[in-house]
Amino acid sequence: MKSRPSPAVSPLSSTAAVKRPAPLPAWRNSSSTPCSGNNTYYSLFSIAMLSRNQIRQAALQYLYAASQTPETEQEGIWDILMEPFRGDYCKLKAKAVSGHLTRDYPDKLRLFITRARETADKLQQDPLTLPVRDQLQDLLTKEGEFNAALLRLKKALHEDPANDKGSLSAACDAAQELNTALMQMRRRLLDTLKDFPAYNAIWPSLISSCRKLQEINDRINCLIHPDDRPSLAEIKKVVEAGRDADELYREAKTLGEDILRRRDGLDAAIDSTLENYSPERVSAIDRAILRLGAYELLHRKDLPAPIVISEAIRLSERFSSAESPRFVNGVLAGISKTEHPA
């Protein structure tokens, strides 16, 4: 193995990736390479390729960060790595809440305010209706708070779209908390109205307006409990994004931590293939890529070696130096030959 300099670019920065033709993988002309007519082979891998790439890249970033961080401080690595994914989910949720899920809220709120005040005026002379009037006043106050929360959410979406300052997630959480409170208050009001049958003639318009607002809050509530309205198209994209982020975290964390547990054995396999090259000279990012590749070659028998090597080469092209792809190719090809001799 020829010696080579350490990467001159910042590891794990896509902007630092060297734009160059990919070197031919060691398995390009191997008999294990599927023939061009074997479409089933390629389609099976392409179905899950995007998700698999995301998981592997997240695990790679964890391996690199762990190699640069004292063990006592590694607990927070995943929180940092998942910030972009959670930020995307938060942005998607904020757009839904402040946009199409509440698009008709202002008009329905104005109508409810009018009807609530008219109802309160009609009940003013009857002291027994004080519970209804008090609940109406509390509900109007809470509606005002919710409306203000939606405005703050729109402002945060404009000023902090990536949630870098945390203001977007805070505004989103506040809106959802008020949304839940409103749903509970409206239910209590509707139950209270049943205790005053003498006024059944004036309740219908108030109840109708109240239920129309409740429909809006139900939509937002589906972001927390999507099974309540599984057919609501507006919710589907947001819910799936949240589930994808959670799944990515679980899968990448499991993969990354399993690799670290097997680190000594993987490093031994890597170092045994180095010829005229000191293990200490392998850069941190290349070591992380090689550990990931070696793990898949040695412990993932369901993954064909050609695919593992090719994916590792692509990672090195994106995250390491110009010499890295050839280096990674050579090391992993050596491990593959040892594990699967011809």
Q: Is 215 found in the same domain as 179?
A: yes
pLDDT for the residue 57: 87
Domain annotation covers residue 52: yes
Q: Is 108 found in the same domain as 71?
A: no
Domain annotation covers residue 29: yes
Domain annotation covers residue 5: no
Q: Is 328 found in the same domain as 293?
A: yes
Greatest alpha-carbon pair distance for the chain in Å reads 97
pLDDT for the residue 210: 94
Domain annotation covers residue 109: yes
Q: Is 214 found in the same domain as 124?
A: yes
Domain annotation covers residue 167: yes
Please identify, among 206, 221, 236, the residue that sits at the C-terminal boundary of a domain. Answer: 221
Domain annotation covers residue 242: no
Q: Is 50 found in the same domain as 131?
A: no
Q: Is 186 found in the same domain as 156?
A: yes
Domain annotation covers residue 230: no
Joined together, the tokens standing for residue 204 give 């219908």
- Residue closest to 283 by CA, chosen among 327, 238, 223: 327
Provide the whole-model pTM: 0.54
Q: Is 255 found in the same domain as 190?
A: no
pLDDT for the residue 253: 87
Q: Is 131 found in the same domain as 29?
A: no
Domain annotation covers residue 281: yes
Please identify, among 179, 204, 221, the residue that sits at the C-terminal boundary of a domain. Answer: 221
Q: Is 105 found in the same domain as 43?
A: no
Please identify, among 201, 221, 241, the residue that sits at the C-terminal boundary of a domain. Answer: 221
125, with CB counted inside 10 A (0-12, 13-18, 19+), is exposed
Instruction: Decide if 1 contacts 281 (C-beta within 8 A).
Output: no
pLDDT for the residue 76: 78
Instruction: Specify the residue for token string 């001159």.
Output: 8
Domain that holds residue 71: 14-79+250-339
Find the CATH number of the domain harbouring 291. 1.10.940.10
- pLDDT beneath 70: ranges in the chain: 1-51, 83-86, 224-242, 339-342
Q: Is 216 found in the same domain as 107?
A: yes
Contact residues for 243 (Cβ-Cβ < 8 A; gap 6+): none
pLDDT for the residue 89: 73
**Alpha carbon separation from 65 to 20, 73, 253 (Å, rounded):** 26, 11, 13
pLDDT for the residue 132: 96
Query: What does the pLDDT look like over 261-282, one tens digit per residue?
Result: 999 999 999 999 988 788 888 9
Q: Is 288 found in the same domain as 178?
A: no
pLDDT for the residue 100: 76
Query: What does the pLDDT look like over 30-77, one tens digit per residue?
Result: 323 222 233 322 222 222 334 688 888 888 988 988 888 877 777 778
Q: What angle do CA 309, 332, 249 make, to 5 degrees?
A: 60
pLDDT for the residue 23: 31
Q: Is 327 found in the same domain as 267?
A: yes
pLDDT for the residue 101: 81
